[in-house]
Amino acid sequence: MFKTDPILVEKCRRLRKKGFTLGEIVKKTGLPKTTVYDHIRDIPLSNVLKEKIKKYGEKLQKRQILERAISSYQK
């Protein structure tokens, strides 16, 4: 089993505490999503981060609705 560099683990934890999302931490560290998650899952989400994730979900939902509408119009 591969052991993640402790410096990268600490970087993941520091970024999460600063309010970075899982995806943002993955991009910054280059580590696999599951590896990052394993090292940050015990850090509670701040209210700011919860709001950031909520806004991203709403944006994604609007995009999916628009894509479905365009797809059905093209048929």
Considering the entire predicted model, what is its pTM? 0.71
- CATH number, domain with residue 37: 1.10.10
Per-residue pLDDT of the chain (75 residues; tens, 9 = 90+): 578 899 999 999 999 999 899 999 999 999 999 999 999 999 998 888 888 889 988 998 999 888 888 888 776
Note whether 3 and 28 are same-domain residues.
yes
Note whether 55 and 35 are same-domain residues.
no
Note whether 8 and 30 are same-domain residues.
yes
Note whether 8 and 29 are same-domain residues.
yes
Q: What is 7-38 written as a DSSP string?
A: HHHHHHHHHHHTT--HHHHHHHH---HHHHHH
Domain region containing 63: 45-75
Note whether 33 and 56 are same-domain residues.
no
- What is the number of domains present in the chain? 2
